[in-house]
C-alpha cells in the first residue's frame, strides 16, 4: 500500500522519526536545531512527533543543517508531499472525538488487527441501526449522531472492503450478544456478525463464553492491537495498542507494554470458542429474539 492511499498520518510520523534521528546523529538538541532553523522549538517538536505536514524545502533545509547525505535528503523530500494528503475523516472533524484521528490514520496503514471487546459490538462491525443506538446513549445532538454514524460506516468501508484488506481477529465477550437493544436492531446486528464471520476470509470472530467469569479481558478493558507491514526505511510504525477510554484514547508502543496486551489477547483466544461454535452462539441468540 502506498503512503498516498493511507492518508497523511503515517507519512508524517515516519518523516518525523527520521528527522529526529538525523538531529540526534548531528548532536543537536531540539533547542539548538530550532535556532539554526530559525523556527520555534515547539514547531520542531511537532514535526518530530508527526503532528504537522511539511513542505519539501523545509525538509531540504533540515537535512542540510543536520548534515544528511544526498540520497537521504532526496528520499525525505519525496516523502514530504505525502504528509499533506487529505485524510478521509476531515469531513467529519467536528464530530470526531479528540484523539481518534491518530487511530484512523494508523488503521489505514495496519496489516493486522487483534481486537478485544467486552461490552459492545466493535464499531467496525456495527450496523447503522446499532451504531445509532450506541451514539444516542451519549445524549449527543441528532446532527452530531448522524455525522458520527456516517463516519463509522465510511471507516468500515475503507477497512473491510478495500482491495488489500488487513486481517482481523476479533474476540468478544458473550455479554456483547446479550446487551438489551431494540429487537429489530439486535436482529440485524447478529445477522451482520454471522455474515462477517462466515463470508470474509480475512476475519475471524470468536466469543469468550460467560462461564469464564474472570479472565484477562476483565482487567484490561477493551483494546485493539495494530500490527504494520515492514518498512523499507526501517522507520515504520511499531506494533501499537489502542485502549478505548471515555475521556482520552490511550496508545501504547513500548515493547513491555505491548507484550502485556499480546499476552492478554492470547489468553482470551485460549478461553474463547472456536469460529464455528461462535457462529452457533450467534444463531442461538438470534433464535431468542421474538
Rounded distance, CA 99 to CA 236, Å? 21
Give me the chain's average pLDDT, please: 89
Model confidence over 97-151: pLDDT tens digits? 878 888 999 998 899 999 999 999 999 999 999 999 998 887 788 888 999 999 9
Angstrom distance (rounded) from CA 188 to CA 207: 18
- What is the rounded CA–CA span in Å between residue 217 and residue 267? 9
Statement: residue 42 has pLDDT above 60: yes
Q: Which of 56-70, 97-111, 169-183, 255-269 is the least confident region? A: 97-111
Three-state secondary structure call for residue 41? helix
Handedness of CA 80, 82, 86, 88 (dihedral sign): negative
Exposed / middle / buried, residue 269 (Cβ in 10 Å: 0-12, 13-18, 19+) = middle
Top-confidence range, 82-86, 164-168, 170-174:
170-174
Enter the C-alpha cell of residue 231.
518498512
What the chain holds in terms of domains, given with CATH numbers, is 3-84 (1.10.260.40), 88-288 (3.30.870)
**Tens-place pLDDT, residues 218-233:** 677 899 999 999 876 6
pLDDT at 216 over 80: no
Decide: 123 and 152 in contact? Cβ < 8 Å. Answer: yes
Q: Is the pLDDT of residue 188 over 80?
A: yes
Tell me: pLDDT of 2 over 60: no
Beta strands in 64-213 (DSSP E): 112-117, 167-173, 203-208
CA distance 75 to 37: 20
Question: Residue 3: pLDDT band by 50, 70, 90 thresholds?
Answer: very low
Amino acid at each position: 500500500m502506498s503512503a498516498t492511499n493511507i492518508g497523511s498520518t503515517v507519512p508524517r510520523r515516519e518523516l518525523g522519526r527520521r528527522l529526529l534521528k538525523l538531529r540526534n546523529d548531528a548532536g543537536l538538541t531540539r533547542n539548538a536545531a530550532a535556532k539554526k532553523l530559525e523556527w520555534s522549538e515547539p514547531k520542531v517538536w511537532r514535526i518530530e512527533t508527526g503532528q504537522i505536514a511539511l513542505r519539501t524545502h523545509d525538509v531540504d533545509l533540515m537535512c542540510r543543517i543536520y548534515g544528511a547525505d544526498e540520497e537521504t535528503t532526496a528520499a525525505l523530500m519525496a516523502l514530504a508531499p505525502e504528509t499533506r494528503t487529505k485524510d478521509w475523516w476531515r469531513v467529519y472533524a467536528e464530530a470526531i472525538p479528540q484523539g481518534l484521528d491518530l487511530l484512523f490514520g494508523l488503521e489505514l496503514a495496519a496489516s493486522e488487527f487483534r481486537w478485544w471487546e467486552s461490552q459492545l459490538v466493535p464499531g467496525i462491525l456495527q450496523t447503522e441501526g446499532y451504531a445509532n443506538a450506541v451514539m444516542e446513549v451519549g445524549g449527543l445532538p441528532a446532527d452530531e449522531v448522524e455525522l458520527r454514524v456516517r463516519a463509522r460506516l465510511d471507516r468500515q468501508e475503507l477497512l473491510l472492503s478495500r482491495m488489500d484488506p488487513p486481517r482481523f481477529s476479533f474476540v468478544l465477550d458473550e455479554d456483547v450478544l446479550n446487551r438489551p437493544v431494540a429487537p429489530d436492531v439486535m436482529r440485524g446486528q447478529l445477522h451482520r456478525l454471522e455474515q462477517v464471520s462466515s463470508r470474509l476470509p480475512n476475519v475471524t470472530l470468536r466469543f469468550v463464553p460467560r462461564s469464564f467469569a474472570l479472565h484477562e479481558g476483565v482487567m484490561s478493558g477493551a483494546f485493539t492491537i495494530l500490527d504494520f507491514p515492514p518498512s523499507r526505511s526501517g522507520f515504520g510504525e511499531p506494533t501499537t495498542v489502542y485502549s478505548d477510554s471515555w475521556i482520552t484514547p490511550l496508545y501504547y508502543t513500548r515493547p513491555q507494554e505491548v507484550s502485556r496486551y499480546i499476552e492478554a489477547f492470547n489468553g482470551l483466544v485460549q478461553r474463547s470458542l472456536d469460529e464455528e461454535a461462535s457462529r452457533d452462539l450467534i444463531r442461538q441468540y438470534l433464535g431468542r429474539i421474538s
